[in-house]
Amino acid sequence: MDDKKERIIIIAEQLFMQYGFLKTTMEDIAKKVHMGKSSVYYYFKSKDDIFAEVIRRDTQIFQQKLNDAIYAANTPEDKIRAYVITRMTHLQDLSKFYSTLTDEYLDHYLFVEEVRKDFYEYESTVIKNLLEDGIKQNFFDVDDVVTISRMISIAIKGLEFPLFVEAKDYDPIKESNDMLNVIFNGITNN
């Protein structure tokens, strides 16, 4: 019963990736899972519900990946670096896969934006914690943790932007590293 839900989600994700959300019909999903359409509705209450579950899963895998990367690094600086690099790499892969979906994202952006919001909340918490660790261990010198973590988030968003609009010869890893160097060291000579 739970593996049925599982299968539906996996199939649905495949179809969403291939055809996008709008072009994928409930019939398509049902047929590919070898079920009647109504049966699918026994497991999920709506198409959006399936989509939400797909996104929820991806997000969870993403966050797991990020947590692992943070855990593997040692110093607070390296942890932040690991976080940003992992994040950008993952998003880079995603931007290829989800290219079909990003074309549509304007339509149900309310939906995606909601999931996004949650992610940003997670993100700012992670960064804030890492900053606080760094301050406690005397690595960083920061007045207002909240402000600086928001600032880092903004910088990350800036890095993210080109991925989804104009990918021409844009190396997010290099850009991220440059950005991180400035964030840690600044540009002032002292």
- Positions touching DNA (CB under 7 A) are 1, 4, 24-27, 35-39, 41-43, 45-48
| Binding positions for its own copies, 110-139, rule CB under 8 A | 131, 134, 138-139
CB of 70 to its own copies, least distance (A): 17
Q: Which residues contact 120 (CB under 8 A, 6 or more apart)?
A: 153
Helix axes 76-97, 172-185, angle to 10 degrees: 150
- Residue nearer to DNA on the CB measure, 27 or 113: 27
Token output for 2: 């739970």
Q: Which partner in its own copies, DNA, none is near 157 (CB below 5 to 8 A by kind)?
A: its own copies
Which residue, among 124, 177, 167, 168, has the nearest Cα to 146 in the 3D structure?
Answer: 124
Cβ burial of 50 (10 Å; 0-12, 13-18, 19+) is buried
Q: Tokens standing for 104?
A: 């549509």
The residue among 57 and 157 lying less far from its own copies, judged by its C-beta, is 157
CB of 41 to DNA, least distance (A): 4
Measured from the CB atom, is 38 or 138 closer to its own copies?
Answer: 138
CB burial readout 131-150, b (16+ within 10 A) else e: beebeeeeebeeeebeebbe
Whose Cβ is closer to DNA: residue 45's or residue 168's? 45
Counting every residue, how long is the chain? 190
Nearer to its own copies among residue 17 and residue 162 (C-beta): 162
Q: What span, in angstroms and rounded, lies between the C-alpha atoms of 185 and 135?
A: 15
Q: How far is the CB of 59 from DNA (least distance, A)?
A: 21
Chain residues that interact with its own copies, rule: CB under 8 A: 77, 131, 134, 138-142, 144, 147-148, 150-151, 154-159, 161-162, 175, 178-179, 182-190
